[in-house]
Amino acid sequence: MGELVLPDVDAWSCPIPSSRYPNVTLAHGDGGRLTHELIAALFQRAFGNAHLYRSHDGAAVDVPGGRAAVTTDSFVVRPLFFPGGDIGSLAVHGTVNDLAMCGARPKYLTAGFLLEEGLPMETLWRVARSMGAAARACGVEIVAGDTKVVDRGKGDGVYINTSGVGVFERDVEIHPGAVCAGDLVILSGDPGRHGLAVLAAREELAFEDEIRSDAASVAAPALALLEAGIEVHCLRDVTRGGLATAVVEIAEAAGLSVTLEQDQIPLSPVVRGGSEILGLDPLYLASEGRFLAIVPEPAADDALGVLRRFEVSQDACAIGQVRVDGRPTVELRTSVGTTRVVERLSGMSLPRIC
């Protein structure tokens, strides 16, 4: 990366003008178009440094003797407990996954709790115990913590921030900037179950088949790709904004286009059916245990072989290909041979999914 000229931000007025968005809206937090604008227009300008401009899940920073990966994620999921997980295990898996997506082995987490006055102590214990169990299962330690309490009506039970530090065991460059035309886009499993499970739990919807969140650590299969010596260009977990937003973010950051094959995307029947009933596009439903691996075409079969050895990624498959095409776009080739442009999540109301 070249020299970065820092803007004189102190002289600037708010870069998101009040004629556009005078106030923060729920959509600014859904991981889609407005979240992207908030980060690019406001936070990157205020904080400006080369790390933030890489548009990746975490940053690779220099420490004595090598590099470490650093990430942060806050969790505001509602309800706190849902089929397949809870805010505690989610807070561990989310940050573990972000570290793994940098190509780093997750090692240390911090936990910042924002508690609302009146939260049942028993609920906090269940959440903390779930975090501890998830951390032990992932082989990470929660090494530092902080607890703040806000007055009743100024929170919602418990919010959790987890930040993480991971170590690089090999010299890798895994981020959108490493993606090349011709690379295949591999998805580790069926997307959207987390988003649908949380929506169903929140709205007390009952589907014919129970829908459980896919929330899980994907560090083991992601790191196994590197251990197998496979050339991995980018890793990205599918979270807020869903599969579509994750692919658009990578394409835009890479300055390349992607064609996705609808027939190749392994939708589970319950997500397909539930989305239809609710009028939601499953490509925008969040996962919390699925990731994209972008690899050179010749390495794809080996990558799939590695991923399919793990239960969490046993249904991995190639769903698209990277190509050069003027302005970076993502298009979806449908079952009937037509194509449509895929954009970031925008206008669907899916707040507080993680």
Tell me which residues in 86-145 interact with its own copies (CB under 8 A). Answer: 107-108, 110-122, 124-125, 128-129, 131-133, 135-136, 141-145
**Would you say 35 or 275 has its CB closer to its own copies?**
35
CB contact at 8 A, 113 and 160: yes
Exposed/middle/buried for residue 79 (C-beta within 10 Å: 0-12, 13-18, 19+): middle
- Does residue 250 bind its own copies (CB under 8 A)? no
**Would you say 105 or 321 has its CB closer to its own copies?**
105
Give the x-and-dash track for 275-314 against its own copies (CB under 8 A): ----------------------------------------
Residues 33-62 that bind its own copies (CB under 8 A): 35, 38-39, 42-43, 46-49, 51-52, 57-59, 61
User: Considering only 154-162, 172-180, 274-282, 288-296, which stretch makes contact with its own copies by CB under 8 A?
Assistant: 154-162
Which member of 1, 3, 5, 10 binds its own copies (CB under 8 A)?
10
Whole-angstrom distance, CA of residue 345 vs CA of residue 340: 15
| Least spacing, CB of residue 172 vs its own copies, in Å | 14
What's the token pair of residue 229?
Answer: 């010596």
Give residue for tokens 């690089």: 168
Task: Return the SS3 of 159.
Answer: strand
Whole-angstrom distance, CA of residue 91 vs CA of residue 111: 9
| Least spacing, CB of residue 92 vs its own copies, in Å | 10
**Would you say 101 or 196 has its CB closer to its own copies?**
101
Give residue for tokens 């707040």: 351
User: Considering only 164-172, 229-237, 256-264, 271-279, which stretch makes contact with its own copies by CB under 8 A?
Assistant: 164-172
CB contact at 8 A, 97 and 214: no
- Does residue 24 bind its own copies (CB under 8 A)? yes
What's the token pair of residue 200?
Answer: 């169903």
20: Cβ contacts below 8 Å, ≥ 6 apart: none
Dihedral pair phi/psi, residue 324, rounded to 5°: -90, 135
| Least spacing, CB of residue 245 vs its own copies, in Å | 14
**Would you say 8 or 326 has its CB closer to its own copies?**
8
Peptide bond into 79 cis (omega under 30): yes
Which member of 1, 3, 5, 65 binds its own copies (CB under 8 A)?
65
Residue-level length of the chain: 354
- Does residue 207 bind its own copies (CB under 8 A)? no
CB contact at 8 A, 95 and 163: yes
- Does residue 64 bind its own copies (CB under 8 A)? yes
